[in-house]
Amino acid sequence: MRTSPMTRLTLHISWLCLALLLLSGAATARELPDFTVLVENYGPAVVNISTKQKVKARPHMRLPPGVPMPEFPEEGPWGDLFRHFFGNPGEMPEAPGGEDARSLGSGFIIDGDGFILTNNHVVEGADEILVRLNDRRELVAKLIGADKRSDLALLKVDASGLPVVKFGQGDKIKVGEWVMAIGSPFGFDHSVSVGVVSALGRSLPSESYVPFIQTDVAINPGNSGGPLFNLDGEVIGINSQIYSRTGGFMGLSFAIPVDVALDVVAQLKQKGYVSRGWLGVLIQDVTRELAESFGMKRPAGALVAKVLKDGPAAKAGIEVGDIILEFGGKSIDSSSDLPPVVGRSPIGADTKVSLIRNGKRTTLNVRVEELPKEEELTLAESKPGKSSDNVLNMTVADLTPEQRKELGLDKRQGVLVQQVEAGPAQEAGLRRGDVLLKLNNVDVDNVAHFNRLVTDLPAGKSVPVLVQRRNGPLFLALRLPK
């Protein structure tokens, strides 16, 4: 059977297309990253870190005065049990020492003279820190300084001419780029795992001053403190945490960005501790409902739920209910964006803050101060007072002077929520024990004032409500049905 020239031409084109497709696939496969050179060049700068910590000896039980130590068999379970609680005959009531508790992690050399960077939680509380190099040498390290808020620690070993890493730039990290981690998961030295950057600027509850890099690189216990490399062999992060329901890797790992780490290292070298900027506000995210209640077209910014007395924000005139959209020229899209930006702001410098107040945009100047060492905001248990029912289907009560003092309220403000039943208040998230401070941007003086404000609430429209809870102030969006 003969084929026409046109048919033969079609077949030739088809075979050519297939060949090009196969060649393209092979070229794509060859373009996948090769990490072997990176491991050879920078793997020697990664170290294994182990620590020793003395465990306080458990005191033995004492017999009542005048009661002699009974005789007990030297061998067998009864003898072991008696020694466990009372010790051996003639011993002091408390054992002379305890066993060493050991932890394991990773780190990497940042300076040829022996400076090593790792996580604070790897070395915290250690009596002795031991660093094992790639060439199997083991050196005792000195803790230069540590910073709990960023979970970073700087160590120093007595050595020179050590292999070092090179650093990348935090502002050049891109979601989707390939990255590689080297560490000691479960004690297996210099294990390599690879993946991609999953997200940037992640905020975790334990470290609000760190905009974490999220990756899908396999990180397990022992990887903590190890470096995260890009394809250029530059360290762009320090592996710190994982999100897991099992204790093992589940595809979510978090690294401290390199620019945060370098700032911490510089301060630890210079003064042994880390200073951060402080604004003196408690903030929360702006939800869709809250955005509507504040007259915004879309959720954005950090909503100020409390202004701390005598803090930088209070001095600058920032008020509860303000929504911060920019700080120092940097956009604040969500509440988690604000703490890292403020934290890295120069202390004592005047900084412009752009915010929305009562639906209008305004700009203030704030002088950033140093973050205090400890900040604890707690609420005391409230006692029931006089109550009043209302159309929100909730019961509130006046606060006593003692309660106001315990809550830190400087003026006559707020009512105690005693009961919330099915209705608008419950749908908004109000609950028993809340102290309702503001309703529709108006300070609530007492129960009578609260009732008057409720009668003026617009139907079918969301209004902001500020409440105080044990863990701090919180804005909620309340809507009355039409």
- Separation CA 15–CA 21 (nearest Å): 10
Among candidate residues 151, 322, 337, 398, the one labeled active-site is: 151
Instruction: Tell me if 399 sits within 8 A of 426, measured CB to CB.
Output: no
Nearest to 210 by CA among 189, 233, 239, 183: 239
- Separation CA 50–CA 67 (nearest Å): 46
Specify the DSSP class assigned to residue 221. Answer: T
φ, ψ for residue 342, nearest 5 deg: -65, -40
Nearest to 153 by CA among 129, 179, 181: 129
- Separation CA 447–CA 388 (nearest Å): 7
Q: Is 247 left (phi over 0), alpha (psi -120 to 50) or beta?
A: left
Q: Is 186 left (phi over 0), alpha (psi -120 to 50) or beta?
A: left
Q: Any catalytic annotation for residue 151?
A: yes
Among candidate residues 103, 224, 240, 345, the one labeled active-site is: 224
- Separation CA 392–CA 409 (nearest Å): 25
Residue 117, CA distances (Å) to 111, 141, 142, 287, 467 in order: 10, 11, 12, 39, 43
Token pair listed for 259 = 């620019």
Strand blocks (E) in 337-461: 350-357, 360-367, 369-370, 387-389, 394-398, 415-420, 435-439, 442-443
315-342: burial string, b at 16+ Cβ within 10 Å, e else: ebebebbbbbbbbbeeebebbbbbbbbb
Q: Any catalytic annotation for residue 106?
A: no
Specify the DSSP class assigned to residue 402. Answer: H
Beta-strand pair 462-469/435-439 = antiparallel
Token pair listed for 69 = 């130590």
φ, ψ for residue 129, nearest 5 deg: -115, 125
Among candidate residues 50, 103, 106, 121, the one labeled active-site is: 121
Which residues are identified as catalytic?
121, 151, 224
